[in-house]
Amino acid sequence: MRLRFRENGPYVLDLPEGTAFRLGGQEMRLERAKLALCRCGRSAQKPFCDGSHKEGFQAEAGELEAEP
Ligand code: FES
């Protein structure tokens, strides 16, 4: 699994489109081939990124890789 930290933006998980996941007991599916999670704390749709980080959030880019 690879988790990217976008410069001045969200955590991004690259997963196949349509991947099923569960959030708060609710079954969901990815509509895109990535999942962007809020890192700035400003999103009105937490835990998802809604683009609010564009209003001045600053953080370095990075990447975390893990193998099972
Ligand atoms: S990182 Fe995008 S809204 Fe927080």
Ligand 1 centroid–CA 5 distance in Å is: 11
Collapse the DSSP code of 53 into the 3-class scheme (helix H, G, I; strand E, B; otherwise coil) and give the result. Answer: helix
Cβ-contact 19, 31 below 8 angstroms: no
pLDDT at 1: 83
Total tally of structural domains belonging to the chain: 1
Measured distance CA(41)–CA(48) in Å, rounded:
10
Which ligand 1 atom minimizes the distance to the CA of 54?
2
Average pLDDT, the chain: 94
Q: Residue 57 domain-assigned? A: no
Ligand 1 centroid–CA 48 distance in Å is: 7
Q: Residue 47 domain-assigned? A: yes
Q: Tell me the percentage of the chain whose pLDDT exceeds 90.
A: 82
Lookup: tokens for 9: 């933006």
Quote the domain boundaries for residue 29: 2-52
What 8-state DSSP symbol labels residue 48?
A: B
Lookup: tokens for 59: 């953080």
Q: Residue 39 domain-assigned? A: yes
